[in-house]
Amino acid sequence: MSWIVILAPFAGALLVPFVARSLGRALGLVCAFAPAVVFAYLFRTLLDLHALGGHSPARLGIIPWAPSLGLDLTFRLDGLGIAFGLLISGIGVLICLYASAYFRGDPRRGRFMAYLLFFMGAMLGVVLADNVFVLFVFWELTSIASYLLIGFEHDQEKSRSAALQALLTTGAGGLAMLAGLVLLGNAAGSYDLTVIIATPGLAEHPHYLAILLLILAGAATKSAQFPFHYWLPNAMAAPTPASAYLHSSTMVKGGVYLLARLSPALGGTELWFWSLAGLGGATMLAAGWLALRQTALKPMLAYSTVVALGTLVLCIGLGTPLSITAFKVFLFVHAFYKAALFMVAGSIIHETHETDFERLGGLGRLMPATAIGGLLAALSMAGLPPLLGFVGKESVYEAVLYAPLAVQVFVGVAVFANVANVYVAAAAGVLPFWRRRSAAVSGAVHEAPMGMWIGPVVLGGLGLAAGLYPFIFGKVLLAPGGGAVLGEGLEFKLKLWHGVNSAFLLSMLTLGIGLAAILARARWRRFAGLFGWLDRAGPEAAYRGALEGMLATARAQTAFLQHGYLRYYLLAVLVCVIAAVAGASQLEIRPLAFELVGIRFHEIITVVLVAVAALGTTRVDSRFGALACLGVVGYGIALLYVFYGAPDLAKTQIVVESLTVVFFALLAAAMPGFRVLSAPRVRRRDAMIAALAGGLMGVLVYSTLAVTQAQPVAQFYRENSYPLAHGRNVVNVILVDFRALDTLGEITVLAVAAFGAHALLRLRNLRRHRA
Amino acid sequence: MNSILLYYWANVLKAIMLLLSLLLLLRGHNEPGGGFVGGLVVATAFILHALAQNVSAARRAVPVSPESLIAGGLGVALASGVAGVLDGRPFLTGVWRTIEAPLLGPVTLGTPLLFDVGVYLVVAGVVLKIAFAMLECDHAD
Residues A562-593: tens digit of each pLDDT: 777 878 888 889 999 888 888 777 656 555 55
The distance of A15 to chain B (nearest Cα, Å) reads 15
Beta bridge partners, A64, equal A72
The whole-number pLDDT of residue A138 equals: 92
Q: Which residue has the higher pLDDT, A169 or A666?
A: A169
Task: Please choose, from the candidates A473, A584, A570, A444, the residue with its C-alpha nearest in 3D space to the C-alpha of residue A83.
Answer: A473
What amino acid is encoded at B52 in this protein? A
Return the residue of B nearest to A653 by Cα. Answer: B37
**Looking at the predicted structure, is the pLDDT value of residue A484 above 70?**
no
Omega of the bond prior to B90 within 30 degrees of 0, cis? no
Residue-level pLDDT at A217: 93
Q: Which DSSP string corresponds to chain B?
A: ---HHHHHHHHHHHHHHHHHHHHHHHHTTTSS--HHHHHHHHHHHHHHHHHHS-HHHHHHHSSS-HHHHHHHHHHHHHHHHHHHHHTTS-TT---EEEEEETTTEEEEEEHHHHHHHHHHHHHHHHHHHHHHHHHTS----
What is the longest distance spanned by two Cα atoms in chain B? 61
Contacts of residue A200, defined as CB under 8 A and 6 or more positions apart, other chains included, come to: none
Preferred mutation among A655, A658, A721, A763 to probe B, highest tally of B CBs within 10 A: A655
- Looking at the complex, report in whole angstroms how far the Cα of residue B79 sits from the nearest Cα belonging to chain A: 11
- Closest residue by Cα to residue A385 from A495, A505, A494, A467: A467
Contacts of B40 in chain A (CB under 8 A): 652, 655-656, 659
State the pTM of this model: 0.76
CB contact under 8 A, A743 and B88: no
pLDDT of A287-341, one tens digit each?
Answer: 998 888 888 888 889 899 999 999 999 999 988 888 888 898 999 999 999 999 9
Question: Given an 8 Å threshold on Cβ–Cβ distance, is B133 in contact with A758?
Answer: yes
Residue B48 near residue B130, CB atoms below 8 Å? no
Say whether B28 and A663 touch across the interface (CB within 8 A): no
Which residue among B35, B73, B130 sits closest to A757, beta carbon to beta carbon? B130
Residue A688 to residue A693: CA distance in whole angstroms: 9
Q: A105: phi > 0 → left, psi -120 to 50 → alpha, else beta; which?
A: left
Q: Does the CB of A438 have a partner CB in chain B at under 8 Å?
A: no
Per-residue model confidence (pLDDT) at position A49: 78
More confident residue, A755 or A734: A755
Nearest one of A408, A394, A402 to A326, comparing CA atoms? A394
- A256-265, B81-90, B113-122: which has the minimum mean pLDDT? B81-90
Taking the CA of residue A636 as centre, how many other CA atoms within 13 Å lie in the half-sphere pointing to its CB?
A: 19
A7 DSSP 8-state letter: T
Predicted pLDDT of residue A759: 87
Contacts of B25 in chain A (CB under 8 A): none
Are β-strands B96-101 and A58-66 bridged in parallel, bridged antiparallel, or unpaired? unpaired
The per-residue pLDDT for B140 is 42
SS3 A469: coil
- β-partners of residue A58 are A77
Residues of A in Cβ contact (< 8 Å) with B54: none
Q: At what angle do helices A368-382 and A321-352 cross, to 10 degrees?
A: 150
- Sequence-separated (6 or more) residues with CB below 8 Å from residue A468: A386, A496
CA neighbor of A532 nearest in space, from A357, A290, A306? A290
Q: Is A741 at the interface with chain B, CB within 8 A?
A: yes
Residues β-bridged to residue A66? A71
Average pLDDT in the A502-519 region? 88
Q: Cβ contacts (< 8 Å) between B44 and chain A: which residues?
A: 655, 658-659, 662
**Would you call B123 an interface residue with chain A, using a CB distance cutoff of 8 Å?**
yes
Q: How confident is the model at residue A55 (pLDDT cuts 50, 70, 90)?
A: low
Chain A residue with CA closest to B38: the answer is A652
Residue A14 at interface with chain B, using a CB cutoff of 8 Å: no
Containing A420, the helix (H) or strand (E) segment is helix A407-425
pLDDT of B8 above 60: yes
Residue A5 in this model has a pLDDT that exceeds 80: no
